[in-house]
Each structure stands twice: as structure tokens, then as C-alpha cells.
Amino acid sequence: MAKKSKSRTVAVRLISMAMTGYFRTMIRPRTHRPLSMLKYDPVVKKQVLFLEATKGGRNK
């Protein structure tokens, strides 16, 4: 029996680099490079760097 195919997209978690524990969840294509962006963190009330959290450190 054929293996169930993986979905084209994945849901990823972008963690605030201000170490506040705040995060945003986004959907990106599975083959895309990891997401990173400047976004507003309501805890520190500033725009800070958000980086995608790796699941087991498998990001390129």
C-alpha cells in the first residue's frame, strides 16, 4: 500500500527573539526556506525579529 503523501504546506511557529515566549503561527510551502520576519511583539511593545522554530533542528 502506498504511503500517505505529505501535505504541500506546513504550519510553522515563528518565535519572538525578545525571549518573551510570544509566537505567531504561519503556513509556508514545505520546500520553502525557513521563515523569518520583523513583527510586533506586544509584550515588549516593539517590532522585533521573529524566527521560525525548528522541530529537531532540521532547517537548512
Partner 1 sequence: MATPATTLASKLPPRLLSFFARYPPQLYSAAVTPKSEPQSSTKSTTTPLPETSSAIDPSTGESTLPSPYTPNRDAGGHKRPDPSAFSPSKAILATTAEHPNPFLPRKNFRTGKWIGPRVGLRVQAELVKLAAKYDIEELLPAGRKSTEFKETRRAERGLAIKGTGVGQKVKGHKWERTMETRLDDRRKAMMEMPEAIRLWKQRGHGRGWKKWPKR
Cα–chain center distance at 28: 9
Under 8 Å between Cβ of 43 and 18: yes
C-beta of 54: minimal distance to partner 1 in Å? 5
Q: Using the minimum distance from each CB to partner 1, give the nearer residue, 9 or 20.
A: 20
Give CA–CA dist 20/5, Å, rounded: 36
User: Contact positions toward partner 1, by CB under 8 A?
Assistant: 13, 15, 17-20, 33-38, 43-44, 46, 48-49, 51-55, 57, 59
Q: Which is nearer to partner 1, 6 or 60 (CB)?
A: 60
